[in-house]
Structure formats: structure tokens, C-alpha cells
Structure 1
């Protein structure tokens, strides 16, 4: 006999979808406001959490990165 594979409950899928969608929306809108490749950040935000948000914060939102690499 084989063991049943573990599955997530339906509410977990809904929670994951809401987190990814809200992250993607925030990244898209904020990047569009700042003129920083909104579609790239929005699509990347739909893929996984929280790496796109952390990288966006470092690359786009912090001033030390922009000053250092001008």
C-alpha cells in the first residue's frame, strides 16, 4: 500500500493566492509610480514570496543602492 500524499486545505490555497496577488499588485503599482519596470516586478511578485519584495526594497526603494551604482 502506498501512503496518501499530504495535501493543503482549500483555505491555504486561497491564503497563498491572496498573498501573492497583493504582493504583485503592490510591486506593480509602486514600480510604475517610480518608473522602474513595473511589469517585471509585478510578474515576478506573482511567482513566489517574499524574495521579490526584499529585492525590490533593496534595488528600487533604498537610496544607498542608487547612490553607490550611479
Structure 2
């Protein structure tokens, strides 16, 4: 019985450490990019891996969006448009 209780305690400790690490990583990365750091940090404490996957998908989407905007404005001089 003692082994089962100790294993359960270690499992809960591991889950807590995993959630804390995820939360800290999301918070620090979001803070460095200026994107609602407290939201991501708190949501990272609630479950795993949904907040992490959502954050990565949104970061990829935003990076592609910015790349497209930079590319579309950088190709043409001001006032000039591209046909077609």
C-alpha cells in the first residue's frame, strides 16, 4: 500500500512540475513578444498541452501574416500597384 501511495504522490508532483514549466515558458515567451503574458501564463497552469499547442499555432499564424504584409508592402514603391 505504501508503494502505491508514494507513486501517486510522485505522479501528482510530476504533473504539477509539468504545468508549472509550461506556464512559465508560455509567460516568458509571450512577455518577450508583448502578447498578453499573464493570460498565457495562467492558462498554462490549467491543463496540458492545449495552451501550448494553441500558442504555437497562433505564433506561427501571426508570423506568416506579418511576413505576407511585409512582402506585399516591400515589393512595390508607394502609390504603385501590381496588376493581376
Establish whether TM, by shorter chain, passes 0.5.
yes
In the alignment, what sits opposite 1:4? none
Query: What secondary structure sits across from 1:48 in the alignment?
Result: coil
**Stretches of structure 1 lacking an aligned partner (at least 5 in a row):** 1-6
Count the aligned residue pairs.
61
In the alignment, what sits opposite 1:52? 51
Cα RMSD for the two superposed structures = 2.1
In the alignment, what sits opposite 2:15? 16
**Structure with greater contact order relative to length (CA < 8 Å, sep ≥ 6):** 1
- TM-score normalised by L of structure 1: 0.78
Look at both structures and tell me which one has the larger radius of gyration over its CA atoms.
2
Deviations 1:39-68 (A, max 9, x none): 0000000000000000000112x123x34x
In the alignment, what sits opposite 1:34? 33
